[in-house]
Amino acid sequence: MTVRVTHLGGPTALIEVGGWRLLTDPTFDPPGRTYAFGWGTSSQKLAGPAVAVDRVGPIDVVLLTHDHHGDNLDDAGRRLLPSAGTVVTTRAGAARLGGNARGLAPWSSTTLVARGRPPIEITATPCRHGPPLSRPIVGDVVGFALRWDGQRHGVLWISGDTVLYGGVRQVADRLPVGLALLHLGGVRFPVTGPLRYTLTARKAVALCQAVRPHTVVPVHYEGWTHFQQSRDVIDREFAAAPRDVRDRIRWLPIGTPTDLET
């Protein structure tokens, strides 16, 4: 089954399939503000969304990898949550948000059901948003694997903000992946020096070699000062990757709906 994906900027993507409209990590604030992430870390937003929040249309489900960082859920995105049918996020995030939020631990699942639409099973996948032992500081994050009938190549996987580690490598062992939305950017902060908090392009190549998705869509690599790898840097790394990785990369034009296979 074909899925339509519109990359709105940052981690935010609209996923349309079988009558469902799902939105990832809603970030709709205008550029210019600096957001604090805790423990002396912060970042300035450099670019706004390709589509304003009031033009996105009705949302059935928000897939929120984590609720406590402004580059994954900003003020305008937070105001959108009550109007969505369901918010799926971490267990800690669901406890903070309340209302229509469902919390998932890694490898637990929930199923979306609505009359006239195919059921979608959502499974949370592991993330570690920083170096070893950083979880108490950076908080819980999850990715999402979406499964519905008619997928030809495998699940639609949203990696979430993560580094490459054993937990995220489990995806290769447990799931066939058709379409992967990979959070990149190689995040780094002055206060913690060389430590990375999201995938670099080189680590993304290694992850793709393990997971072997049919199609890879890079997201969350631009629009903020804490990203250390621009599209040009990522492109060079992907161009030097083995052919079985570089041929799978699909850059989506920001704001343009694109039909993709899963």
What is the average pLDDT value for the chain, to the nearest integer? 97
Provide the pLDDT for residue 121.
98
With a pLDDT cut of 70, the percent of the chain lying above it is 100
| 147-to-17, 23, 138, 175 alpha-carbon distances in Å | 11, 16, 28, 10
Alpha-carbon torsion 226, 246, 126, 179, what sign?
positive
Q: What are phi and psi of 23, to 5 degrees?
A: -125, 130
pLDDT bin (cut points 50, 70, 90) of residue 38 is: confident
Instruction: For residue 192, give the nearest of 233, 142, 132 by alpha carbon.
Output: 132
Instruction: For residue 157, give the nearest of 137, 183, 133 by alpha carbon.
Output: 183
Provide the pLDDT for residue 88.
98
With a pLDDT cut of 90, the percent of the chain lying above it is 98
Q: Convert the pLDDT of each residue in 168-220 to its tens digit.
A: 999 999 999 999 999 999 999 999 999 999 999 999 999 999 999 999 999 99
All structural domains of the chain, each given as residue ranges with its CATH number in brackets, are 2-252 (3.60.15.10)
